[in-house]
Homo-oligomer: A and B are copies of this chain.
Amino acid sequence: MAAISPPTRPALRERYERRRREVIATAARLFAERGYQATSMSELTEATGLAAGGLYHYIESKDQLLISICDELLDPLLERAREIVAEEAPPTRQLRDLLHAWLAHIADHRDHMLVFAQERHVIEREPQWRRVRGQRKAFEKLLDDVLARGERDGTMHFEDRGFALLTLLGMVNYTPQWLNPRGRLSPEQIADGYCELILRAAQPALLSARP
């Protein structure tokens, strides 16, 4: 429970932050592979090369480590998303930019993303997860706002915008499960694919009743 105190000396501060991030990244990798609860701290000591005591120099607890993983995931993504919607650009363009940023972030934080999805039930229930919950909701709200603005300016027409948003969230949040860094599809191509799909859904109903 005792809060971790990073070093006050400037020369050590950087090294400390770097190692802390390394620990978090290693933990994200193990948690994504084996699950959070199923990964023991001794597996984490082995993977980091630190002993138990050394490990706890960089983290407060296993719980807090999980929260840190989610913070590293959501903080920069939400910041970037806010930049995008702050720019003056048509909603279709903002949607495209959001998807590109999102998929690039997923590609860079695949493990974090898998852990985040895996531990959804903890995130939704426990009070110490309020901040993380709020960030996820804020991001989804940004997306919904872009779709709403598209409806307002006439470039998008949804039968049910809430449902459209849920399909988008489904597709994107499932991506980490199959994304392969050396695979056929780049994050950009995937983002474009999702974007086209949603924009097609946002066209007025096609007349073509299949014969």
Neighbouring B residues of A33 by C-beta, 8 Å: 121, 125
Cβ–Cβ < 8 Å partners of A175 in chain B? 166, 170
Q: Does A148 contact B (CB under 8 A)?
A: no
B contact residues around A34 at 8 Å (CB): 121, 125
| A120: interface (CB < 8 Å) | yes
Proximity string of chain A (179-211) to chain B, C-beta cutoff 8 Å, 1 when within and 0 when not? 000000100001001101100110100101010
Distance of A146 from chain B, by nearest CB (Å): 15
- The minimal Cβ–Cβ distance linking A209 to chain B, given in whole angstroms, is 11
Q: Does A155 contact B (CB under 8 A)?
A: yes
Q: Are B35's CB and A197's CB within 8 A? A: no
Q: A174-B166, A194-B167 are in contact. Are A201 and B200 (CB under 8 A)?
A: yes
Give residues of chain A (78-111) contacting chain B, Cβ–Cβ below 8 Å: 92
Assess A121 versus B35: contact at CB under 8 Å? Given A193-B160, A200-B200, A206-B203. yes
> A122 contacts which of B38, B177, B194 (Cβ < 8 Å)?
B38
Contacts of A118 in B (CB 8 A): 118, 120-121
Query: Which residue of chain B has its CB nearest to the CB of A177?
Result: B120
**Which residue of chain B has the shortest Cβ distance to A92 in the bound complex?**
B210
